Amino acid sequence: MGDARNSIRDTLRDAGLAPGGELPPLILVACSGGPDSLALALAASFFARRGDYRVGAVVVDHRLQPDSAAVADSARGKLEQMGLAPVLVRQVSVPESGMGPEAAARTVRYAALDAVVEELGADAVLLGHTLDDQAEQVLLGLMRGSGTRSLAGMPAVRGKYLRPFLGLRREQTLEICRHAGLDPWHDPSNRDPAYARSRVRTEVLPFLEDKLGPGIAEALFRSSRILSADADYLDTVAAQSFEELRAAAPAGSGTDSEELLLPEAQLRNLAPAVRQRVLALAALSLGGSQPSYERLAAVQSLLRRTGSAGPVQLVGKVSVYRQPRAKSVHHGASSYGNLVFRKKSST
């Protein structure tokens, strides 16, 4: 419990939320009724009793299990017994979509949490993800062949969402619940082999621990912290480089245009890791979606061509082609060798 309280205290202070004052900051705990979030709520209640923070909770009922309403009501009762206030239950409907059930549930869950934050004027929401969750996230990123940002796992701080338990093991949250006499709910989907995350949790990580020895989860967590720092730095450098290249673009290309030109000579001079991020930023600036690794590789291949080349189609109706030197461009300006990002008009 001491580790749990210290983690919450440090995370809140790192987020700039100082304790106390005439009206202490309002902190909400996102609670499913499971061991991680119940342990988080119990540890956070300590700061409410001391008057450091006002601590409430939100229980999101996804209505995916037959007894979900009873589970949510039970969680609310436990949270109120801890002294948390207010404790709100929000029911959501998880739509059938192409993003998959886990992603769809996550989307509506965060929408419900966002609404409560705005309704109550909350300063932060605590999430109960643990070191084990982070290790699973890194393995899933490896399976997808994702980049540095994905392998960095879940951030400890993202806006008002804080994850103070990323340095704690799942077994520690179970021990906190046992010691406090709490009877947490165990989500059956966490052991459902239909979900990749469940297979990583129940099969892959135990297999790695068995074959390679203990400490795999901790090693994956350390890797995520290193990669997170690397990704933050590269993203900062890429954002600066993108602004510099956009400023050097020919007249007629800008944020209000449906066409963006980036000088190819300067693009070639960028480090590959930075160049890839700059190209993604260009697509995003025109309203496109984050391009896949394969699509970005296709865009970068345009820089190895001579003469005009392309277009490469990206998600979000954005296309990219190479405009050679001295050829006129869409807005009539003279080109000096550019990659042209063009957003297809919706009209």
What dihedral do alpha carbons 149, 150, 153, 156 form, nearest 10°? 40
Write down the residue that tokens 């309002």 correspond to.
Answer: 26
d(CA 236, CA 242): 10
Binding-site sequence positions: 32-37
Angle ∠(331,335,336) on CA atoms, nearest 5: 160
d(CA 107, CA 94): 9
Measured CA distances, 158 to 22, 112, 161, 195, 221 (Å): 26, 16, 5, 25, 18
- β-pairing, 124-126 vs 161-162, is parallel
Q: In what order do the strands lie in the sheet with 54-61?
A: 87-91, 54-61, 26-30, 124-126, 161-162, 157-158
Binding-site sequence positions for ATP: 32-37
Report the run of H or E that residue 339 belongs to, with start and end. strand 338-343
For residue 255, the tally of other CB atoms under 10 A from its CB is: 8
